[in-house]
Amino acid sequence: MTTGPAHWELTMRARALDNQIYLAAISPARDQTANYVAYGHSMVAGPGAMSSHKPMQTRPLSLQK
């Protein structure tokens, strides 16, 4: 059973509200071939429990030097 889709955003928003802080939640990249598949949704939540930013989910981010 995976709980990421059901709990990730709700939990991060709740922690930001409880502590009255801005919270940056960083998730590992989603790798379908790994033993554990992370939910893979990084986000920022504010003290008003509103989600400030969720990255686009259509393309993976690639960083190069």
Q: What is the pLDDT along the chain (65 residues), one digit of tens a residue?
A: 567 777 888 888 899 999 999 988 888 777 788 888 777 788 888 888 676 555 555 555 565 66
CA-only gyration radius of the chain, Å: 13
Helix (H), strand (E), coil (C) string for the chain: CCCHHHHHHHHHHHHHHHHCCCEEECCCCCCCCCCCCCCCCCEEECCCCCEEECCCCCCCCCCCC
Can you give the pLDDT at residue 62? Answer: 60
